[in-house]
Structure 1
Amino acid sequence: MRKNKIHNAIALAFTGISLSLAAPLALAQEAEETAVDTQNVEKIAVVGARGAPRSVTSSPVPVDVLSAEDIEAVAFTDMNNVLMTLVPSYSVGRQPISDGGTFIRPATLRGMPTDKTLVLVNSKRRHRAALVSIGGSGTQGPDIATIPTAAIGSVEVLRDGAAAQYGSDAIAGVINFQLKENTEGGSFTADYGSYFEGDGDQITITGNKGFALGDDGFLSISAEYSDSEATFRGEQYCEDWFCVDEQSEQYIADAAAMASSVHDSDVVQPWGQPDTSGTRIFFNAGYALTAEMELYAFGNYSESEGSGNFYYRYPGNRTIEDIRLEDGSIWSPTEFFPGGFTPRFSGDVTDYSFVGGIKGMSGDLGYDISGRYGYNDISYTLANTINPSMGNESPTSFKPGDLTNEETQIQADFTYDFNEYILAFGASYLDESYEISEGGVDSYFAGPYATSDPWGFCDGDAASAAGLAVIGTGSTLNCADSDDAVYTVVGVGSNGFPGYSPDYSGTYSRDSYAVYTDISGDITDELFAQAAIRYEDYSDFGSEVVYKVAGIYQINDEIAVRSSYGTGFRAPTPGQQGTTNVSTRLPDGFPVATGLFPAGGDVAQALGAEELLPEKSTNFTLGLTASFGDLTLTADYYNIKLEDRLYSVSTRDVSTTVVTDPDADGYDAYQNYLALSGAGVSGAESIGGVFFFQNAFDTVTEGVDLVATYKMETTYGSTMITGSINYNDTSFDSDPSEFLDPEDIFDFENGTPEMRGVFSVTHSYDVWSAVARLSYYGEYENVGSDDGTVIDAETIQTYGSEFMFDIEGSYLINENLTLSVGVRNLFDSYPDPTINGDACCGQVYDSGSVVDWQGGYYYTRLAARF
């Protein structure tokens, strides 16, 4: 018994959250001694104690343990969608027009953004993606879509703050992906599906193969290929200021030809998911050197690409404008794009990592010493657009630049077994960098038409000598007419996404180290407790000490109460400190170049920004667990207070219109222009808005998770019933009005459903099995205001609750082959259409909604096991 306990400690001590006992390969000799029936093993959890395993219902904090079978039963291959389907407090939306967010989708856990959730693979920190979301919380977290489902043995979701155990980021919780450890056999799955609308065809091919490395090791290799076509859920661009259908027949024909050639649609402004494809490979390996020591390694390589669209540009929208060329003639971008144009934005994402280490036992001391390297890069391209400031000399495709995130970490973890208690302690060193690589010159070049009268044709209201010369050649130049094309000022850089210039390129880096200790054990037969303390020191943000205590009291054999309290600390990432972006937004239908600048840089400082500070949190949970035979219940209340929350300020207007009266409208906008111009921003005249990240306010997020499972065995087969509900509410704990306008304040507190539920029934009988799942989304509200200040009943839209029903049936053809057919969103449900001021330009549904607006989807899947 003593030996088994030590070997379990090797496998579990550094897991960090939880795992299923179905597949421990820590030591091959031990594995050969014990055969485990994986269908009847109780799920257990380490939940931060880094010690003895705990069952899910007896863990001191809430944990979801998802098996490979749970994951395979979900009709998604994108890991974001898998988790959203199975964990109600996990949400992810689809932004159809969102720069890099089109390709890497940020998610939330318990209402907190991705960078407040720590992601682990095999209990080791997963590196961040290169994308920093340019709005809201400026999220920069790992891209879990790079993890193929075929590689996963189980997923553990710790729904509790755990920064004291795992470090910065673990404010809302921890997600740990345990890779498969099979020494033989494998799987192959081919999946094809399409939406009811007849678009969005998707094919996914996944596979896994296990190999034995001698008698004492394993190598498990998993791969995935996916290809997904675009969907179209919008309508033709027709607004008060410009309606495609009301133009001339020739213009309509030209616009249709543009739409067909650029994005294979019959509308100029498509709304839907982008075209995406990707190849992903993971490996996991281990080798037992002795009965007490094991080498291990795992890593990945993935390449993916996607293409989406920006907003449609029509003549006279401040982008397609007449300008006067050097010879005095008038030129318009319609000569390039007779039907207007819709920029096409593409991104190539490369991601790879390697982790290696050695772990084992020396007497009662367990050790795990490891190193890891992670790399993620996004390379942008932009087509079907122009650099307006270059006029007729502009190309129509550009390379705006690349974003790269790199991380290197060395970590040492130890445990010591005191029989009744497990002491864990360790240290780590992390070096991380974020690089913005310069784009092609044409993508950021400020051409002559970025300024008024670039060729000096006019001297006041009269023509200069140069102006008289072109008039003499037949030019219609009229310097006395303020509307003459000679005075037109247009935007700088590739329209839609100007490239990164040398001024805004560079590398932001830092290093940090941490030490921690954690102790856990049974204080009495009824009470289990744990405590942890951690010290972290960052080269750019100084040091901090955080702690956590947690415990569970078993009232009787069936019922227990549990609680935890902890503090957290999250230093803004190098990407959040350094990212810069000029993109196009569409207030009132007019494209406006809007610039995001680093809070610590000269530009944002000139606009009143302050240096970023760390975010600090306190996390409290109180829960009840119950187990009555085949019925298990958990109910957990949580309260997360976040101080100095990082958030982007509401966009601040910029205008070249001279306003000198501080009390007059437009004064602040003119001052912002002067600040940009004074800071040397290229093309400041064409920028219409600016914003930056700040530690803007404090928030309180609180809610309740309810989870129930019931298993039945009858003569007609086995049935598993699962129900889970999440209630989540976030409110301000300080006055945010200095940083957010009234519209953003309202949407922050009301813009997502407070209630979310997932209910499923799985039944198997002989060679047949079926899964039925109901997803519920509660009501939420959104305000659409013309200027961001008017909040009244006419501008607020309430989106009703939605139910979406999935069903799948499977047939076991033989012991190796299974055929499945199913439907997601069987009744083709959609959220309410957007009808307030946020509806514009071909959009039908709220683009930021976590409620899916793609409609029904049917699929078939052939799975082989060997």
Structure 2
Amino acid sequence: MKQKKLHTAVRYALTGLTLFTTSMLAQAQEVTEETAEAKDLERIAVVGARGAPRSVTSSPVPVDVLTAEDVEAVAFTDMNNVLMTLVPSYSVGRQPISDGGTFIRPATLRGMPTDKTLVLVNSKRRHRAALVSIGGSGTQGPDIATIPTAAIKTVEVLRDGAAAQYGSDAIAGVINFQLKDNTEGGSFTADYGTYYEGDGDQITVTGNKGFALGDDGFLSISAEYSDSEATFRGEQYCEPWFCVDEQSEQYIADATAMANSVHGSDVVQPWGQPNTSGTRVFVNAGYALSPEAELYAFGNYSESEGDGSFYYRYPGNGTIEDIRLEDGSIWNPTEFFPGGFTPRFFGDVTDYSFVGGIKGMSGDLTYDISGRYGNNEISYTLANTINPSLGNMSPTSFEPGDLTNEETQIQADFTYDLSEYVLAFGASYLDESYEISEGEEASYFAGPYATSDPYGFCDGTTATAAGLSVIAAGSSLDCSDPDDAVYTVVGVGSNGFPGYSPDYSGSYERDSYAVYTDISGDITDELFAQAALRYEDYSDFGSEVVYKVAGFYQLTDDVGFRSSFGTGFRAPTPGQQGTTNVSTRLPDGFPVATGLFPAGGDVAQALGAEALSPEKSTNFTLGMTANYGDLTLTVDYYNIKLEDRLYSVSTRDVSTTVVSDPDADGYDAYQNYLALSGANVSGAESIGGVFFFQNAFDTVTEGVDVVATYKMESKYGATVLTGSVNYNKTEFDSDPSEYLDAEDQFDFENSRPEMRGVFSVTHSYDVWSAVARLSYFGEYENAGSDDGENATSIQTFGDEFMFDIEGSYLINENLTLSVGVRNLFDNYPDVSTNGDACCGEVYDSGSVVDWQGGYYYTRLAARF
């Protein structure tokens, strides 16, 4: 198709300046023959080219366009899982023990973390979630799980760097969710399913209804309710340092009773998906003021909650220890929890947004002026735990604080149709803040048992007057015994997730503005080209200019070639600059209280951190597109170089053991303790490790995407074959050894499958239809936690195939019944055997390969 055939459409598109304007074609007052021809050929999207919409195979950059039918055909309620099923270069894992990551799951596109992908709704930037991942890339991106599938008209996934066109975050690509704009009719779907194991029951009820606003407007309302119960895929806690099954019969009974009452399993440490539920509403509206102008508004409100577990606390683990109370008696937390305890973590997530604006055209000029506000808040609750430093006065449930991310943006975009070319330009202002709200005092308070001998019972090895007094009263105090409970030091704060103290609470704010220009058009009948330039200025990181050039060459009527080159700039978010956390991690396979501190703060700087700086990128793509009758094929190579990549340093040991020799083992750990103590960190004596985010190293990510579609028609119905394959590899482009240990270096480059594929067959005949889908995950490797400096204990996880199938029957013109199975053959990834798994974990819980097993479901869908 010649590119200029689409230029006529831009005169009628009301938003020729947005990223994706597919839906706007339907709202145009006229539709030309050329536009109709384009719509009949294939799916249409504006892919990195402002102005006229372009067909997928004639776009200068790769894009996936998913329809509402594509989305609804996937047997998942979480939009993360929907995209992972349909887009092989998109991945997300299940993180059962990851603080807020249990409730808001970070994802990747083309091997890049969430915060390198720009997420849009109706072509407007989506606000970030309040969660900052506490490990790895420390990502903070939008929570797309807040978007109900019933609200979706199309999803466009731009697999190319687009920071020069659409701003910071668009390093790996752009995902745009177009909302339904129906003026009548609607849908209702009820879905129920459960896993082969008999757990994890899930129910989802979702619907949409469209209304006309007079003769010239629409109001589309979508809502969803979902509830998922927990799954259990672990085994009983049995490690060299403590094994539940080797304890007394009474202890085993108490531990099992605790587990059943707290999370509903016989094992003390559950592994699986958490309990989650949520209610989500999206509203989309528009009203035509005239044939040349339209008001629009959309927004959402959602509430969701979830609960998961932290690591099991057993006697003698540093938390369940004997301490001497003020009366000289010995007390142990087993008096609260006879079988040990597993802290239970609850998160309530509230998300809402509003976008409003006016768009239209005046002659050859189109405009879109809008404002948006977005807010995401996580409120935490911790139960079945204690603040060890408070001893027997400790509560067993806490409110450790809230996290809030807030954004306000004003934007103006314009395009001017120059006949053969489209000139786009615009400006935006963004104000964003990240707030850490103080928790209740008991969740962070340093009680008396955070220090040794808090009541002054001993003076060296001799009892003081106070000590003699309690001995006279019957205390077993023995100051000469270094192991006496009087010297025990325990942790500060609600164990598992200490609350945010006033010292680590507060708001981190910044504003920024940007201006851009973009020109695109046909150089010849065969060659389409584009160039973009963007200037951004941040109040905390200064200014940067980025650019992009792209082109598409139609070699023949069937074959075309495309390429792009661009630069990117991403400023660390206020959340990444300000987040702090003390939690239990496994730096050496053993649970340790580990502190994350802001890189720009006194604590991290005392440990050697430097203030964060922006990440910069270059992005190159080269691809081929082909249309041979009913076969459509695209092949795209990409290369993303990321400089000063933000990443968390490997956990650094902390020890109170005095080591004065710089060459001796433990010297650095003692120096880290002195740094924490010198920075007045409450409970420094009980922290076993520290880490922080840094601009740690450079990386190169390269890969290939292959997407093919073949359509067949016969007297037995219509069949569509699709295949998508992604190869992706990330390697260091600088020496990371200053920031990462040998294990973390190995896992960074090798712990994700390099190959992913999704192959599906869809067939429909009369009132019957069926979908069969095969998901492929290539092999990957993982280094064990006990490898020291050499990372020699390497486990190779084999490739995996997971098969889904679904059949549907059209009961009548409005009602459809579907039954299906995910992971039909109940396939699991390899069991983790290299020492990296701990504490009852069987499978690599952070793997993108699903480890929940087979799942069957039924769904009733109504259209009206």
User: Fold-level match, TM-score > 0.5?
Assistant: yes
Is 1:164 aligned to 2:167, yes or no? no
Contact 1:744 1:788 in 2 (8 A): no
Partner of 1:554: 554
Residues in 2 aligned to 1:3 and 1:770: alpha-carbon distance in whole angstroms: 35
- Give matches, 1:286-435, under 5 Å: 286-435=286-435
Partner of 1:106: 106
The Cα of 1:38 is off from its aligned counterpart by 12
Residues in 2 aligned to 1:659 and 1:76: alpha-carbon distance in whole angstroms: 54
Partner of 2:722: 722
Partner of 1:5: 8
What runs of 5+ residues in structure 1 fail to find an aligned partner?
none
Residues in 2 aligned to 1:284 and 1:464: alpha-carbon distance in whole angstroms: 74
The Cα of 1:790 is off from its aligned counterpart by 3.5
- Give matches, 1:118-137, under 5 Å: 118-137=118-137
Contact 2:806 2:820 in 1 (8 A): yes
Contact 1:18 1:47 in 2 (8 A): no
The Cα of 1:246 is off from its aligned counterpart by 1.4
Please give the secondary structure, in 1, of the residue aligned with 2:238. Answer: coil
Residues in 1 aligned to 2:400 and 2:670: alpha-carbon distance in whole angstroms: 28
Please give the secondary structure, in 1, of the residue aligned with 2:677. Answer: helix
Contact 2:9 2:52 in 1 (8 A): no
Partner of 1:472: 472
Partner of 2:50: 50
Is 1:519 aligned to 2:519, yes or no? yes
The Cα of 1:35 is off from its aligned counterpart by 12
Contact 1:317 1:590 in 2 (8 A): no
- Give matches, 1:838-857, under 5 Å: 838-857=836-855
Partner of 1:14: 17
The Cα of 1:591 is off from its aligned counterpart by 3.3
Contact 1:367 1:412 in 2 (8 A): yes
Contact 1:10 1:359 in 2 (8 A): no
Partner of 1:832: 830
Residues in 1 aligned to 2:585 and 2:533: alpha-carbon distance in whole angstroms: 45
Q: Residue type of the partner of 1:189? A: T
Residues in 2 aligned to 1:436 and 1:335: alpha-carbon distance in whole angstroms: 34
Q: Deviations over 1:61-95 (max 9, x none)?
A: 00000000100110111100000000000000001
- Give matches, 1:194-205, under 5 Å: 194-205=194-205
Partner of 1:769: 769
Please give the secondary structure, in 1, of the residue aligned with 2:346. Answer: strand
Contact 1:279 1:303 in 2 (8 A): yes
Contact 1:287 1:294 in 2 (8 A): yes
Q: Deviations over 1:503-548 (max 9, x none)?
A: 0000000000000000000100000000000000000000000000
Q: Deviations over 1:783-819 (max 9, x none)?
A: 0132642421xx1100000000000000000000000
The Cα of 1:247 is off from its aligned counterpart by 1.2
Partner of 1:858: 856
Partner of 1:628: 628
Q: Residue type of the partner of 1:5? A: T
The Cα of 1:646 is off from its aligned counterpart by 0.2
Contact 1:9 1:51 in 2 (8 A): no
Q: Residue type of the partner of 1:716? A: Y
RMSD of the alignment, in Å?
1.7
- Give matches, 1:40-119, under 5 Å: 40=40, 42-119=42-119
Q: Deviations over 1:670-717 (max 9, x none)?
A: 000100110111111111100000000000000000010000011110
Residues in 1 aligned to 2:87 and 2:473: alpha-carbon distance in whole angstroms: 71
Contact 1:57 1:634 in 2 (8 A): yes
Q: Deviations over 1:334-360 (max 9, x none)?
A: 000000000000000000000000000
Residues in 1 aligned to 2:545 and 2:145: alpha-carbon distance in whole angstroms: 33
Residues in 1 aligned to 2:617 and 2:33: alpha-carbon distance in whole angstroms: 46
Q: Deviations over 1:171-196 (max 9, x none)?
A: 00000000000000000000000000
Partner of 2:224: 224
Is 1:26 aligned to 2:4, yes or no? no
Residues in 2 aligned to 1:76 and 1:86: alpha-carbon distance in whole angstroms: 11
The Cα of 1:229 is off from its aligned counterpart by 0.1
Partner of 1:820: 818
The Cα of 1:297 is off from its aligned counterpart by 0.2
Partner of 2:213: 213
Partner of 1:240: 240
Please give the secondary structure, in 1, of the residue aligned with 2:603. Answer: helix
Partner of 2:272: 272
Q: Residue type of the partner of 1:856? A: G
Residues in 1 aligned to 2:297 and 2:38: alpha-carbon distance in whole angstroms: 25
Contact 2:321 2:333 in 1 (8 A): yes
Residues in 2 aligned to 1:527 and 1:590: alpha-carbon distance in whole angstroms: 59
Q: Residue type of the partner of 1:489? A: V
Summarize the Cα distance change of 1:678–1:354 in structure 2 as closer, same or farther, 3 Å threshold. Answer: same
Partner of 2:443: 443
The Cα of 1:5 is off from its aligned counterpart by 3.0
What runs of 5+ residues in structure 2 fail to find an aligned partner?
none
Q: Give the paired residue count.
A: 861
Partner of 2:808: 810
The Cα of 1:4 is off from its aligned counterpart by 9.4
Is 1:796 aligned to 2:797, yes or no? no
Please give the secondary structure, in 1, of the residue aligned with 2:398. Answer: strand
Q: Deviations over 1:359-388 (max 9, x none)?
A: 000111000000000000000000000000
Is 1:141 aligned to 2:149, yes or no? no
Q: Deviations over 1:248-283 (max 9, x none)?
A: 111111111101100011111110000000000000
Contact 1:18 1:156 in 2 (8 A): no
- Give matches, 1:707-786, under 5 Å: 707-786=707-786
Contact 2:11 2:417 in 1 (8 A): no
Residues in 1 aligned to 2:847 and 2:670: alpha-carbon distance in whole angstroms: 34
Residues in 2 aligned to 1:597 and 1:586: alpha-carbon distance in whole angstroms: 17
Residues in 1 aligned to 2:153 and 2:202: alpha-carbon distance in whole angstroms: 24
Give me the TM-score of the superposition, normalised by structure 1: 0.98
Structure 1 range deviating more: 848-857 or 236-245 = 236-245
Please give the secondary structure, in 2, of the residue aligned with 1:854. Answer: coil
Summarize the Cα distance change of 1:2–1:156 in structure 2 as closer, same or farther, 3 Å threshold. Answer: closer
Please give the secondary structure, in 1, of the residue aligned with 2:203. Answer: strand
Contact 2:12 2:25 in 1 (8 A): no
Please give the secondary structure, in 2, of the residue aligned with 1:10. Answer: coil
Percent identity between the aligned chains?
85
Q: Residue type of the partner of 1:808? A: E
Contact 1:807 1:823 in 2 (8 A): yes
Contact 2:48 2:61 in 1 (8 A): no
Contact 2:390 2:449 in 1 (8 A): yes
Residues in 1 aligned to 2:343 and 2:729: alpha-carbon distance in whole angstroms: 38
Partner of 2:530: 530
Contact 2:587 2:651 in 1 (8 A): no
The Cα of 1:240 is off from its aligned counterpart by 1.9
Q: Deviations over 1:88-122 (max 9, x none)?
A: 00000001100000000000000000000000000
Residues in 1 aligned to 2:25 and 2:231: alpha-carbon distance in whole angstroms: 42
Residues in 2 aligned to 1:38 and 1:196: alpha-carbon distance in whole angstroms: 46
Give me the TM-score of the superposition, normalised by structure 2: 0.98
Q: Residue type of the partner of 1:664? A: A
Residues in 2 aligned to 1:40 and 1:467: alpha-carbon distance in whole angstroms: 90
Partner of 1:251: 251
Is 1:490 aligned to 2:490, yes or no? yes
